[in-house]
């Protein structure tokens, strides 16, 4: 099957969780997305709100729990800006 530009675009949007809201949790979404821009504090919450069916029980506690237990970490990563990434992917 030939990969058309439209199919490639749709696959990219699906991979970024932008075609439909996903039932997964915040930590799993951050791992799947590989990095979530977090220079401005509300940014990761808004990005997850747009992608997830429910932001861990309609609150931000899921992401905050992940940050507290280092499942997700916030650090300078790409282009010298702050990003959220899976803790296992950023041991430093």
Reading the block at residue 34, the tokens are 């590989």
pLDDT, position 80:
82
The C-alpha atoms of residue 90 and residue 82 are separated, in whole angstroms, by 13
Q: How many residues does the chain have?
A: 92
Write out pLDDT tens, residues 65-83: 899 999 999 998 777 889 9
The C-alpha atoms of residue 40 and residue 24 are separated, in whole angstroms, by 23
The C-alpha atoms of residue 66 and residue 59 are separated, in whole angstroms, by 13
Write out pLDDT tens, residues 3-20: 899 999 999 999 999 999
Residue 30 burial (10 A CB sphere; 0-12, 13-18, 19+): buried
Write out pLDDT tens, residues 10-52: 999 999 999 999 988 899 999 999 989 999 888 998 899 889 9
Residue 50 burial (10 A CB sphere; 0-12, 13-18, 19+): exposed
């Amino acid at each position: 099957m030939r990969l058309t530009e439209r199919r490639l675009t749709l696959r990219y949007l699906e991979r970024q969780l932008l075609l439909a809201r996903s039932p997964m949790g915040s930590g799993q979404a951050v791992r799947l997305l590989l990095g979530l821009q977090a220079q401005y504090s509300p940014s990761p919450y808004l990005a997850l709100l747009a992608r997830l069916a429910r932001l861990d029980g309609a609150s931000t506690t899921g992401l905050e729990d992940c940050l507290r237990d280092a499942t997700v970490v916030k650090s300078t990563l790409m282009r010298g800006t702050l990003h959220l990434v899976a803790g296992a992917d950023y041991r430093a």
